[in-house]
Amino acid sequence: MLYTKTPHTKTVNSKFKPSYYAAYAAKNISSFSVRFILICIALLTLNACQTPSPKPAIKTEKQVTDINGLDEQQAANYQLALKALEQQDFTKAQSLLVKLTNQKPNLAGPWANLGLLNLMQNKLTKAHEYLSKALTLNPKMPEALNLMGVISTHNRNIKQAEDYYLSAIKHNNNYANAYYNLALLYDIYLQDIAKAASNYRQYLKLIDNKDETTLSWVEQLEVSLKQ
């Protein structure tokens, strides 16, 4: 598990003491088709409650993408690229993904994964460039919209981040991590605890309440709303 820290603090209310950390963790999804790995990385400030239960951190994900139009060899190379990306072999992943964008320039997935690759290396300008290309080809790609939200959050463009997350949910209303990231935005930056709790709950519903850390945190938020 990798962690990224940023020296920024923001107090949500007097019950919270400031701390900061951002993290991502891998969730394995197997598919007969080529996997589309989209790991959401953000430099987000998190505030820990004074109780022992920690506040949840932004998550990662893997999604399946459409591979229509790829021949057998191209699909195999795409799989190799995604495996290299998982293993953080960025040189190999980039080489394979760039080759795919040259062969299939109108396929959004490789462009989005190049965006992810650069985001993982904190190259935000380049990541934005590749993700913008992916969205030009497929404006309804929720994963790319979600990652653009992450970049906007990092750049403290909170309204734009909110719009990206809402758009991701619009195009996939079962997209658990987009609800989570939106909840985190309301929680930390917009300080709208009611909306944060609602979106955390929707995220938890979609994953069958399997995230104990987030469940504990949202329960604390809901208690604070009643006070």
> Structural domains in the chain?
2-226 (1.25.40.10)
pLDDT at 68: 67
Q: What secondary structure, in 3-state letters, does 103-119 show? A: HCCCCHHHHHHHHHHHH
Cα 160 vs. chain centroid, distance in angstroms? Answer: 15
Pairwise CA distance, residues 212 & 198, whole Å: 16
- pLDDT at position 39 is 33
Specify the pLDDT at position 59. 42
Q: What are the tens digits of pLDDT across the range 69-114?
A: 788 899 899 989 988 988 999 999 999 999 999 999 999 999 999 9
Any residues with CB less than 8 A from the CB of 160 and at least 6 apart, and which? Answer: 149, 152
CA distance 34 to 36: 7
Look at residue 70 in the predicted model and tell me its pLDDT.
Answer: 86
The two beta strands, 47-49 and 22-24, are unpaired
The pLDDT of residue 92 is 96
CB 58 within 8 A of CB 180: yes
The token pair at 152 is: 């906007």
Res 177: pLDDT: 87
CA distance 158 to 186: 9
Which portions of the chain are predicted below pLDDT 70?
Answer: 1-68
Categorise residue 191: left if φ over 0, alpha if ψ from -120 to 50, beta otherwise.
left
The answer to whether the pTM exceeds 0.75 is no
